[in-house]
Amino acid sequence: MSKTILVVDDKKELRVMVKSYLEEEGFRVVMAADGQEALYVARHEKPDLIILDLMMPNMGGYEFLRVHRRETDTPIIILTARLEEGDKVLGLELGADVTKPFSLRELTARTRAVLRRVGREQVDSALLRAADVTLDRTSRKVAVDSRPVELTPSEFDLLAAFLASPGRVFSRSELLDHLQGDAYDGYERTIDVHIRNLRTKIEPDPSKPRYIETVYGVGYRFADDV
């Protein structure tokens, strides 16, 4: 069965162009002109992936993301002409890929890569446990010593990567790949921010991490001997 892609952009010509190209590549494509319409379409069509513009009337891309993320974790690719660090970091915080001006061929390749990544994640075990930490991929719930913990989408994805391979050392580039599929030079330092926030939420003493250890000069690992 063809994967359904929702294309959200206020420029009709761009929507139609992307739709035509993706349909030629075998995808089923639905469209929306702004965030409000996209929420309606997403709730009814249940797309496998959303391609989202940022600058739109009525409801912009980030506002749509915040609302939509409370309902589902559909993979999202953000299209932006202004590839600024703030856009990239905020997109990561909200659990979305962010890409600069694109060619249709590159966009299709990115779409397939994200869908492959999501497919691999869905095959993995839904329930992950290590030490006192439990993570449920299906409900996207996390508990530490039976205490519920609220995580952002990016923090959840990082913790899932750690719990799937306790003891394994991940480089910052590898961890960034778990968030957006492709590593971008200059944004690996955002991993340090996510790790610091994650430690604050799950560690008994964030200043002396028990679970997420720093491997100096390499990256991070989830301790397999706690």
Bridge partners for 7 per DSSP? 31, 51
* Beta-carbon-side half-sphere exposure of residue 60 (alpha carbons within 13 Å): 6
pLDDT at 171: 86
Strands 4-8 and 97-99: unpaired
Whether residues 21 and 118 fall in one domain: yes
pLDDT category, 98, cuts 50, 70, 90? Answer: low
Whether residues 210 and 106 fall in one domain: no
With a threshold of 0.75, does the pTM exceed it?
A: no
pLDDT at 28 > cutoff 80: yes
62, 92, 122 - which closes a domain: 122
Whether residues 34 and 115 fall in one domain: yes
Contact (CB, 8 A) for 10 and 56: yes
pLDDT in tens, 175-220: 877 775 444 444 567 889 899 999 999 999 999 999 999 999 889 9
69, 98, 122 - which closes a domain: 122
The CATH number linked to 68 is 3.40.50.2300
Contact (CB, 8 A) for 167 and 217: no
- CB neighbours of 46 closer than 8 A, spacing ≥ 6? 4
* More confident of the two residues 80 and 199: 199
Q: What is the mean pLDDT of residues 33-47?
A: 92
Whether residues 89 and 12 fall in one domain: yes
pLDDT at 226 > cutoff 70: no
96, 122, 148 - which closes a domain: 122
Whether residues 59 and 100 fall in one domain: yes
Sign of the torsion formed by the C-alpha atoms of 19, 24, 25 and 28: positive
The Cβ of residue 8 has, within 10 Å, a number of other Cβ atoms equal to 29
Whether residues 141 and 193 fall in one domain: yes
Whether residues 115 and 204 fall in one domain: no
* More confident of the two residues 63 and 70: 63
pLDDT category, 151, cuts 50, 70, 90? Answer: very high
Q: How far apart are CA 53 and CA 13, in angstroms?
A: 13
Whether residues 34 and 55 fall in one domain: yes
What is the identity of the amino acid at 57?
P
Q: What is the mean pLDDT of residues 50-78?
A: 84
pLDDT at 186: 44
Whether residues 95 and 134 fall in one domain: no
Q: What is the mean pLDDT of residues 118-142?
A: 79
Whether residues 96 and 26 fall in one domain: yes
pLDDT category, 58, cuts 50, 70, 90? Answer: confident
Whether residues 105 and 211 fall in one domain: no
Whether residues 117 and 55 fall in one domain: yes
Domain that holds residue 32: 4-122
pLDDT category, 120, cuts 50, 70, 90? Answer: low
Domain count, the chain: 2
pLDDT at 84: 54
